[in-house]
Amino acid sequence: MDFKLGITRNAEQLYVKSFSPGNGPSSKILDLHEAREENLQGLIYLSSLNSEELINQLESETKFYPIRSSEEMQISLENFEQLNYDDGKKLFDKLREPWILQNNISCIEDLFKIRTHLNNLWPNDRTGFFEEFWFTLRSQLGASEITIMYNDMIKATKEGEKNKLIKVKVTGTRIPAPFSPDEGDELVYKNYEKEMTHVLEITDYNKDKGHLVLAGGLKKSPVLVMAKISQLTRLQKALLTSLIDGINS
């Protein structure tokens, strides 16, 4: 699977490294504020830069990916620059696994509140529901990208017109955005239509590529979810089941 990690060079710059199996890593240097435009899966800050100003600047990013000190991760800037794919993957797992686990624990603690909030959105704000559902899945799966396709209804505005059923795609790496599915999306959706008669559940999972597919129904409405993830644990599977059962109940 592909992933991207960063490390601070100083109080204003990041060294970002992209890893892909079978290819040598690529790297670039960014200003710190540009990190918000990158699909990072983890960030390390040099312990020597452990200033209150820097920590405050990075704190808002912790909901998108884990942030740890170089001392905690036992790595220097020089060692980070020399990482190959295999060593980069070990660092990636060391960064993300505790972060995802903490997200899962927080979800367990707030599961009823999350379910209630989503169910309150469903009747009148289908797009808002799926954007919030997108965020919940991203947090619990530690996904680097998620796409959700679902049906929505455009209500008639004139007498004699009928409500119109349309498909919508909510997708993104950091923030979800709604789009109209293109021809390729329609073909993918059609490939999983036979699964849409069941409750939304895991249909496909390729561990090596990190590709996860959920297909089925939420509140009797067909939904397709495609995510890029680094792991799928028993706890995550149980949380998905509990969340989906709660929404459907």
pLDDT digits (tens, 9 = 90+) for 71-95: 999 999 999 999 999 999 999 999 9
- Pairing, β 211-218 against β 221-228: antiparallel
170-189 pLDDT, tens digit per residue, is 999 999 999 999 999 999 99
| Pairwise CA distance, residues 61 & 82, whole Å | 25
Q: Letter for the amino acid at 163?
A: N
Q: Where are the beta strands (DSSP E) in the chain?
A: 3-8, 13-20, 23-31, 42-45, 67-69, 145-154, 164-172, 177-179, 201-206, 211-218, 221-228
Q: Which of 13-17, 30-34, 113-117, 224-228 has the lowest mean pLDDT?
A: 30-34
The answer to whether the CB of 114 falls within 8 A of the CB of 107 is yes
Q: Letter for the amino acid at 31?
A: D
Per-residue burial over 68-87, b if 16 or more Cβ lie within 10 Å, else e, is: bbbeebebeeeebeebebee
Average pLDDT, the chain: 91
pLDDT of residue 168: 94
As given in the structure block, the two tokens for residue 17 are: 């490294």
Task: Compute the radius of gyration of the chain from its Cα atoms.
Answer: 20
As given in the structure block, the two tokens for residue 15 are: 């060294």
11-48 pLDDT, tens digit per residue, is 888 999 999 988 888 999 998 888 888 899 999 998 88
CA 176 to chain centre: 9
Instruction: Determine the average pLDDT of the residues in 219-233.
Output: 94
The answer to whether the CB of 70 falls within 8 A of the CB of 44 is yes
In the chain, ranges of CATH 3.30.450 domains? 109-248
Sequence-separated (6 or more) residues with CB below 8 Å from residue 27: 15, 16, 17, 18, 81
Q: Which of 3.30.450, 1.10.10, 2.40.50, 3.30.420 would CATH assign to domain 109-248? A: 3.30.450
As given in the structure block, the two tokens for residue 141 are: 């799966």
Is the pLDDT at 160 greater than 70, yes or no?
A: no
